[in-house]
Amino acid sequence: MRVLAFEDSYDVEALLTSGGVDFEALQFEQRWNTEGALQVISDFKPDVLLLDHFIPPTKGLEVLRQLNAAVSAGEVERPELVVGMSSASMANTRMLNEGADHGILKYSLATLDFWPRRQD
């Protein structure tokens, strides 16, 4: 599973690993800002796209809007799953309203049921 995260404050790999996600089953990349986000998405071709709502310079909500427009125009392939993640539930609701498949508090990210799990 290819996972691309746009998150500027937290180490997403650490959040997921501490939650029992099997990182050996993932190809993971984290970007700490949204510069060139659509190009990064197009190049990486993630199965799962994680978007922080408040990341600079372009908020995750706006990246999602740009992604939706680019997908509609046939310029970019939409990831199988788009996850809006924020520490503010209101921001997650906005992401869902713009077409995200999941909106979740980032500290609960590892609880989503699609992650591969470690067999400890």
Q: Residue 79, preceding bond cis, omega within 30 degrees?
A: no
Q: Which of 87-91, 100-104, 115-119 has the highest mean pLDDT?
A: 100-104
Q: What pLDDT sits at residue 119?
A: 79
23 belongs to a structural domain: yes
119 belongs to a structural domain: no
Q: What pLDDT sits at residue 100?
A: 98
Q: Shortest CA distance to 96 belongs to which of 44, 60, 56, 45?
A: 60
Q: What pLDDT sits at residue 2?
A: 98
54 belongs to a structural domain: yes
68 belongs to a structural domain: yes
CA 18, 22, 23, 27 dihedral sign is: negative
Average pLDDT over the chain, rounded to an integer: 96
Tens digit of pLDDT for each residue in 36-93? 999 999 999 999 999 999 999 999 999 999 999 999 999 999 999 999 999 888 999 9
Q: How many domains does the chain have?
A: 1
34 belongs to a structural domain: yes
Token representation of residue 104: 């979740």
Q: Residue 13 maps to which CATH number?
A: 3.40.50.2300
Helices 60-72, 89-97: axis angle to 10 degrees equals 10
Q: Which domain holds residue 29?
A: 2-111
67 belongs to a structural domain: yes
